[in-house]
Chain A
Amino acid sequence: MGTRYCQHICDESSPGIGEAGRTGEWRSSFPVLDQKKCLPARQNKPACFICWLYCPDAVISRTIPIQINLEYCKGCGICAQVCPAQAIAMVNEEEFSSEQDS
């Protein structure tokens, strides 16, 4: 068995990015951020960051401008719900890719 080398007898891992796999693959819709509406980007200073606070997967950065890591974003849509400026829209992955194809 090729995995004996890890020498674990139960599931064991060190905390790290991507320990549960690329969870972005689970997503059915993804967040699109409109920088023109986003408060930190508009004011060019640390403000709001409610999406960063609420994101359960910690894939939103506390930076100007805000960045969303789509490798691990599961597409729950909480950020879009909590954004007071309604700067985040959820876009359906399938519809988006079929539009891209056509």
Chain B
Amino acid sequence: MINKKIDRKTDIQILDGNHAAAQGAKLSRVQVIAAYPITPQTPVTETLSEFVEGGKLNAEYVAVEGEHSALAVCTSASMVGARTFTATSSHGLAYMHEMLHWAAGARLPVVLACVNRAIGAPWNILNDQQDSIAQRDTGWIQIYARNNQEILDSMIQAYKIAEAVYVPVMVCYDGYVLSHTEMPVDVPPQEDVDRFLPPYKPHTILDPANPKNYNLVTLANPRVNTEGVLCHGYMELRYLLQEALQHSRETIIRVGQEFGVQFGRSYSNMFWEDRLDDADIVIVATGSLALEATVATDTLREAGHKVGVLGLRVFRPFPKSDVVKALKKSRLILVFDKNISYGLEGATCSEIKSALYGNHLNAVVRNFIVGLGGRDVKARELADAVKRSLPLLQEGVLNTEYPEWMCDI
């Protein structure tokens, strides 16, 4: 995010992350909202229902009995041409799992705010990123915000991206750390957002005069339809979803740049960088954790270590070649994950290592599992982890079998 001064009256409001998300949805003129309250997402649904009831937002608010229905309502409404929004966390997102696949497979540009929360058992309402990482293979674009301004900005961009590539977008932000923490947020005027975000044009047209079937039983192989046209089989449609995500990088960057022109905050990369230019030690993290890493970098720089931070903003599509370019000079890469793919390692670490393969980048990669279930992650702890890893540079051990857990066992 690069801040540029622009000539307009700014409206700085003190907002927590949930209100920033609700404002983002309102400014995007969502037409159908269906959501079920769950901690820590609840204020998003409350705020939006107040907007609708108070006549400040011309939308249909559908009160549903659960998250599976919430996303079923959104996909159906999206199919008939409405811009739709839902928000959830943790168990709610897990309960949506089936419909997440459906929204992506049907290529519906639904936008979902995921307020990252740990998942049971045991019950826990605090922050980590296990919930959204567990849904990474559903075909959704995933954007992680590092502060409340990015939440609001990402919401507006999410609609423009989703409706350009017809892939649903999940805007993820850390529960409590962002969702319940207030900070100044520049709320853009409605007319500027209207200029940036045109009305939604659906690719599925339901017209009684010209009836269509959508997403019926589709067999494995292509087949000729009643008009004699050879149509996709299941596998061709799934390939098109992958292709859409592969190509979405260009759209994400273009939309981020256009956002900068309109609002003065440019999002021209799939990740943001802090002091990467001369860094040979790089901390990689996602969301607010990456922001904490910049504080650790301050102290490490004071001690003479050339440390930088790569804060992943877009996790799907994963920006493989951008990451490789940014990590080119690094000799030691420390990946901090607020999630774990049990039996292996943190998801971010796996992606980073997969990106590095075959690029002659023989850096030491260390993975740390941190902050699960709201466990506090202090900048000092991140700095200590970096210092602990320095001897590995001499040992030349590039990879380790399993990650290190930053807890008391």
Q: Which residues of B contact A11 (CB under 8 A)?
A: 213-216, 218, 231-232, 237
Docked-complex contact A20 and B217, CB < 8 angstroms: yes
Question: Contact partner of A20 among B166, B215, B216, CB < 8 A?
Answer: B216
Question: Contact partner of A2 among B204, B219, B226, B230, CB < 8 A?
Answer: B230
Question: Contact partner of A10 among B214, B227, B229, CB < 8 A?
Answer: B214
Docked-complex contact B230 and A3, CB < 8 angstroms: yes
Interface size class of B (residues with CB under 8 A): 20 to 34
Docked-complex contact B222 and A13, CB < 8 angstroms: no
Measured CB to CB, the nearest residue on chain B to A2 is B230
Docked-complex contact B236 and A1, CB < 8 angstroms: yes
- Chain B residues numbered 80-111 whose CB sits less than 8 Å from any CB in chain A: 105-107
Closest CB in chain B relative to A83 CB, distance in Å: 29
Docked-complex contact B203 and A6, CB < 8 angstroms: no
Q: Which residues of B contact A10 (CB under 8 A)?
A: 105-107, 203-204, 214-215, 237
Judge whether B393 is part of the interface by a CB distance below 8 angstroms: no
On whether A9 and B166 interact (CB within 8 A), knowing A2-B230, A3-B222, A19-B226, the answer reads: yes
- Chain B residues numbered 192-229 whose CB sits less than 8 Å from any CB in chain A: 203-204, 211-219, 222-223, 225-227, 229
On whether A1 and B229 interact (CB within 8 A), knowing A13-B216, A14-B213, A19-B213, the answer reads: no
Docked-complex contact A3 and B233, CB < 8 angstroms: yes
Report the separation of the CA atoms of residues A11 and B223 in the bound assembly, to the nearest whole angstrom: 11
Docked-complex contact A9 and B240, CB < 8 angstroms: yes
Closest CB in chain B relative to A44 CB, distance in Å: 35
Question: Contact partner of B229 among A6, A9, A19, CB < 8 A?
Answer: A6
Closest CB in chain B relative to A100 CB, distance in Å: 29
Report the separation of the CA atoms of residues A9 and B211 in the bound assembly, to the nearest whole angstrom: 17
Judge whether B239 is part of the interface by a CB distance below 8 angstroms: yes
Judge whether A8 is part of the interface by a CB distance below 8 angstroms: yes
Docked-complex contact A6 and B225, CB < 8 angstroms: yes
Docked-complex contact B226 and A13, CB < 8 angstroms: yes
Report the separation of the CA atoms of residues A5 and B212 in the bound assembly, to the nearest whole angstrom: 18
Q: Which residues of B contact A8 (CB under 8 A)?
A: 231-232, 237
Q: Which residues of B contact A21 (CB under 8 A)?
A: 219, 223
Closest CB in chain B relative to A53 CB, distance in Å: 23
Docked-complex contact A19 and B203, CB < 8 angstroms: no
Q: Which residues of A contact B225 (CB under 8 A)?
A: 6, 13-14, 16, 19
Closest CB in chain B relative to A30 CB, distance in Å: 22
Question: Contact partner of A15 among B105, B213, B233, B236, CB < 8 A?
Answer: B213
Q: Beta-carbon contacts of A31-69 to B below 8 Å, as 1s and 0s?
A: 000000000000000000000000000000000000000
Measured CB to CB, the nearest residue on chain B to A1 is B236
Docked-complex contact B232 and A6, CB < 8 angstroms: yes
Question: Contact partner of B107 among A1, A6, A9, A19, CB < 8 A?
Answer: A9
Docked-complex contact A17 and B226, CB < 8 angstroms: yes
Closest CB in chain A relative to B305 CB, distance in Å: 49
Report the separation of the CA atoms of residues A21 and B226 in the bound assembly, to the nearest whole angstrom: 10
Question: Contact partner of A3 among B166, B204, B214, B236, CB < 8 A?
Answer: B236
Report the separation of the CA atoms of residues A60 and B232 in the bound assembly, to the nearest whole angstrom: 30
- Chain B residues numbered 225-276 whose CB sits less than 8 Å from any CB in chain A: 225-227, 229-233, 236-237, 239-240, 244
Docked-complex contact B232 and A3, CB < 8 angstroms: yes
Report the separation of the CA atoms of residues A12 and B232 in the bound assembly, to the nearest whole angstrom: 9
Closest CB in chain B relative to A8 CB, distance in Å: 6
Q: Which residues of A contact B236 (CB under 8 A)?
A: 1, 3
Docked-complex contact B215 and A1, CB < 8 angstroms: no
Report the separation of the CA atoms of residues A8 and B211 in the bound assembly, to the nearest whole angstrom: 15
Report the separation of the CA atoms of residues A14 and B231 in the bound assembly, to the nearest whole angstrom: 12
On whether A1 and B216 interact (CB within 8 A), knowing A8-B231, A10-B105, the answer reads: no
Report the separation of the CA atoms of residues A58 and B106 in the bound assembly, to the nearest whole angstrom: 28
Report the separation of the CA atoms of residues A9 and B213 in the bound assembly, to the nearest whole angstrom: 13
Q: Which residues of A contact B215 (CB under 8 A)?
A: 10-11
Q: Which residues of A contact B227 (CB under 8 A)?
A: 14
Docked-complex contact A5 and B107, CB < 8 angstroms: no
Closest CB in chain A relative to B243 CB, distance in Å: 10
Measured CB to CB, the nearest residue on chain B to A17 is B226
Additional 11 contacts, C-beta under 8 A, given A6-B225, A13-B212, A20-B217:
A3-B230, A3-B236, A8-B237, A10-B107, A11-B218, A12-B212, A12-B231, A13-B231, A14-B211, A15-B212, A19-B225
10 pairs, CB–CB < 8 Å, chain A vs chain B: A2-B230, A8-B231, A9-B240, A10-B204, A11-B218, A11-B231, A13-B213, A13-B231, A14-B212, A14-B226
